[in-house]
Amino acid sequence: MRDYLSRVLSFNSKSSLLLMLLVFVSMLSNCDNAAGQQEKKTTGAVDIKVDTIPTLNATKLELTKQYCLENYGVASYKLDSPKIVLVHFTVIPTLKETVEYFQKDSIESSRTNISKFSQMNVGIHYIVDKDGSIYKLVPDTVIARHAIGFNHIAIGIENIAKDASDLTPVQLESNARLISLLKERNPGLEYMVGHHEYNDTTLPHYKLFLAVDESYKPHDKPDPGPRFMSDLREKLKTEYDLTFLK
Ligand SMILES: [Zn+2]
């Protein structure tokens, strides 16, 4: 009897051990699955490399605040809830010259059509270079001057290109990846507009136009051109399942 009991006990403890081992292995495998899903989910965000080139300083923030008071009626440089992604190209042919241009605090007086409204220099949140590299110049939470009447609600992306024919396929790729990341971080981004489209009063984004001084109006711009914007819209729809209003 003792022998029998000891065999039963031994069998039970062996099977308990086996059961515990199975549960443990199953827990481990569930953990692996969870980690894998999480990694997959965040892949879109983490595989974007964005280098920072700071262009802000106290003078610039003060000029931005002043600009916002004079043009949008609010004395704040904060971009609280961006609604539009505005896409441009620089005309300036290199990243180096573009960064030097954006690093100045004040706009040059020769740009009379905009310098008469504010001394604040033009600026941009992101630059995409011709090789697809992405640079961040202004935080998403600070207003930059790149689109008359829409800066209070717009995140701007510049592409290094002399003209529309100079834009590269890798720039298109990087714009799509960057915009998908921006949408993930700012779910309120509803509109994506090319600079050449921004003064079209028939497009839905135009209802967000704001100007204290009505003579400070958007004017015709060539960048980035209809071809680039239609390719970008197509790519965002097919590869990222993202559609924006114009
Ligand atoms: Zn532009």
pLDDT tens for residues 1-24? 455 444 544 545 555 544 444 444
pTM score, whole prediction: 0.81
Instruction: Give ion ligand 1 contacts, CB < 5 A.
Output: 88, 195, 223
pLDDT tens per residue, range 146-191 = 999 999 999 999 999 999 999 999 999 999 999 999 999 999 999 9
CA–centroid distance, residue 223 to ligand 1 (Å): 5
CA–centroid distance, residue 128 to ligand 1 (Å): 13
Residue 217: per-residue pLDDT: 83
CA–centroid distance, residue 194 to ligand 1 (Å): 8
Considering only residues 231 and 15, tell me which one the structure prediction assigns the higher pLDDT.
231
Residue 12: per-residue pLDDT: 52
Q: What is the DSSP string of 161-216?
A: -SSGGG--HHHHHHHHHHHHHHHHH-TT--EEEEGGGTT-TTSGGGGG---SSTT-
Distances from the Cα of 213 to the Cα of 7, 68, 99, angstroms = 94, 12, 30
Residue 36: per-residue pLDDT: 32
CATH architecture, domain defined by 49-240 = 3-Layer(aba) Sandwich (3.40)
pLDDT tens per residue, range 61-115 = 999 999 999 999 999 999 999 999 999 999 999 999 999 999 999 988 888 878 8
Tell the burial category of 213 from Cβ atoms under 10 Å away from its Cβ (0-12, 13-18, 19+).
exposed
CA–centroid distance, residue 89 to ligand 1 (Å): 6
Considering only residues 218 and 170, tell me which one the structure prediction assigns the higher pLDDT.
170
CA–centroid distance, residue 102 to ligand 1 (Å): 13
